[in-house]
Amino acid sequence: MNSLLAITQAINNNVNEEGLYAMYRSFVTWDLNVSKLALFVLTDGKWEIATQKGITTVSIDDELDAIIQSFREPSKIKQDLHPFLDQFGFAIPVRHKSQPIACAFLGGIQENSATYDKIQVITAITNFIAVALENKRLFRAKLEQELIQKEFQLASEIQEMLLPKSLPKTPAFELSKIYRQHSQVGGDYYDYFHLDNNRFAFCIADVAGKGISAAMLMANFQAILKGLVFQKSTLKELIEELNSSIFKVTKGERFITFFIGIVDFKQRHLIYVNAGHIPPIFIRKDKISTLRKGCLVLGAIEELPTIEIGCEDIFETSTIFTFTDGVTDITNDQGEYLLDDKLFGFSREHFHLSSDEFNQALFRFVNEFRQHQPFPDDFTVLTCKVKP
């Protein structure tokens, strides 16, 4: 009784698993005089020996796994059932909500009038220990899940702070976005910078990977970009410094696709760099093309071999339609992708609309195209309409 009380107090005092198993082993083998003991517990779908005494070790094969799973109530073990089990006389399985969680094997018990009572006591304490530890595991898993959820919530809030609360709309230009996260924390980013009275910059990016690490890298990237975009006199210098800074963080293990464009009203042109991003679509009344000039993705290598600066004249109303691969990865019920020809056709047809109207029509178009298929990734669009 003192041993049972000590085990109960240990559980209530949150003694760790190793300590509880040691107390269980001592109680079964010393207090109840059982010479051979093996307590198996199911951990992540695999049986492991949590505590043992006086037995030969064993590797758990599929046959032994199936036998352990088959025990549903305390029972004698038949001989020749399995070589490992031949050293035991009794099996005591433990189930929690009909699922197996543990099984104790006992050997060296001399059968007499007290054997039944002894097995009953061991059954009770085995169930008590196994269920208590399972509840501890479930409670710990719940706490870990809550912590992960809080981390995701924090990352989501950080990410939300990175994105501009509103985008400008003036007689000369307007920006509009669609931002639809696929999961709680996405890897897409867009932004706008007023450089001076004649120039503004806009950008869109996508971090390789998802989750908290992608959000943290994006936060880092945004901080670096904001610190550099007003300092560097040329796009080439900006891209070189961005790549170098991101590589120091990622060591080449992650990368960012990035597009940045600068509209210069005085020069009446758009200059841009496409760092491995899905090519934006440039639309004028009599011209439609993709903006492909640039360099490799950012952060993959320490030094970019070449950086090509793209340039497009803006002498008339023009639209720059930028997006992430969450757009081009969309499929419909027939397994068809939303390819360039469909996006080109949409852009020509809706070029005359404002940036907001263009995006609204695009979202309707995408939903009609995908039919019953889900969005495969973050869906981010940044549309810039320039009216010189």
Q: What topology is assigned to 2-142 in CATH?
A: Beta-Lactamase (3.30.450)
Instruction: Please report which helix (H) or strand (E) contains residue 220, including its range.
Output: helix 211-228
Residue 10 pLDDT exceeds 70: no
Please say whether the beta carbons of 103 and 82 come within 8 A: no
Question: Given pLDDT bands bounded at 50, 70 and 90, which one contains residue 126?
Answer: confident
Does the pLDDT of residue 75 top 80, yes or no? yes
Does the model's pTM come out above 0.75?
A: no
Parallel, antiparallel or unpaired: strands 287-290 and 281-284: antiparallel
CA distances 334 to 292, 358, 366, 373, Å, are 29, 26, 15, 10
Other beta carbons within 10 Å of 137: 14
Neighbour-count burial of 28, counting CB atoms closer than 10 A to its CB (0-12 exposed, 13-18 middle, 19+ buried): buried
At 183 the pLDDT is: 64
304 burial (CB, 10 Å; 0-12 / 13-18 / 19+) is buried
Q: What is the DSSP string of 98-165?
A: TEEEEEEEEE-PPPSTTHHHHHHHHHHHHHHHHHHHHHHHHHHHHHHHHHHHHHHHHHHHHHHHHS-S
Question: Which range has the worst mean pLDDT, 91-100, 133-142, 152-161, 212-221?
Answer: 152-161
Average pLDDT, integer, range 76-86: 89
Cross-strand bridge partners of residue 191: 203
Taking only the tens place, the pLDDT of each residue in 193-240 is: 999 999 999 999 998 877 677 777 888 899 899 989 998 889 999 999
The helix (H) or strand (E) run that includes residue 342 is: helix 340-350
Q: What pLDDT is stored for residue 29 in this prediction? A: 87
pLDDT at residue number 125? 84
Give the pair of three-digit tokens for residue 76.
Answer: 């004698």
- State the pLDDT at residue 80: 86
Is 90 exceeded by the pLDDT of residue 313? yes
The pLDDT value recorded for residue 12 is 63
pLDDT of residue 303: 94
Delimit the domains of the chain by residue range. Answer: 2-142, 163-386
* 4, pLDDT greater than 80: no
Identical fold between 2-142 and 163-386 = no
Residue pair 101/95 in contact by the 8 Å Cβ criterion: yes
Q: How far apart are the C-alpha atoms of 52 and 36, rounded to whole Å?
A: 8
* pLDDT score at 305: 95
Provide the CA 326 distance to its chain's centre, in angstroms: 16
For residue 140, what are the CA distances in angstroms to 18, 136, 179, 180? 16, 6, 35, 33
What percent of the chain is modeled with pLDDT above 70?
A: 92
For the ranges 49-53, 101-105, 160-164, 234-238, the lowest mean pLDDT is seen at: 160-164
Tens-place pLDDT, residues 276-308:
999 999 999 889 999 999 999 999 999 999 999
Q: In what order do the strands lie in the sheet with 287-290?
A: 173-180, 379-386, 318-323, 281-284, 287-290
Residue with tokens 């020809």: 341
Is pLDDT of 325 > 70? yes
Greater pLDDT, 234 or 377: 234
- Integer Cα distance of 24 and 132 in angstroms: 12
Q: What is 163-386's CATH topology?
A: Phosphatase 2c; domain 1 (3.60.40)
Q: Are strands 75-76 and 90-96 parallel, antiparallel or unpaired?
A: antiparallel
Q: Output 161 or 61, whichever has higher pLDDT.
A: 61
At 203, list the tokens: 């950008």
More confident residue, 78 or 233: 78
Cα gap 346→356, rounded to integer Å = 15
> Could you tell me which of 328, 319, 322 has the C-alpha nearest to residue 287?
319
* Residue 8 pLDDT greater than 80, yes or no: no
